[in-house]
Amino acid sequence: MILSLLEETPDITIQEMRRALTDHGHVFGFGTIQLFFKRHRITRKKTAHASEQDRPDSLKRRRA
């Protein structure tokens, strides 16, 4: 379930993940999800820039 959430929304936060899991009837603490990531060697890092920067409308405004 957690892995499918990560595939569907790769920029999901742990809090958002907890809410999504709760909607499916699963309740996990913040630390439990962190331990899951550690045990499965899943690393998550923020991107160096916002994803909005790559959108055509943002590129057009920035160039103008």
d(C-alpha 53, C-alpha 35), whole Å:
32
pLDDT attached to residue 22 = 95
> How many domains are contained in the chain?
1
pLDDT tens-digit series, residues 9-33? 888 888 999 999 999 999 999 999 9
Average pLDDT, the chain: 84
pLDDT of 42 strictly over 70: yes
Domain span at 59: 2-63
Taking each helix axis as running N to C, give the angle between helix 14-23 and helix 30-39, from 0 to 180 degrees, rounded to the nearest 10.
Answer: 100
d(C-alpha 44, C-alpha 13), whole Å:
10
pLDDT of 50 strictly over 90: no
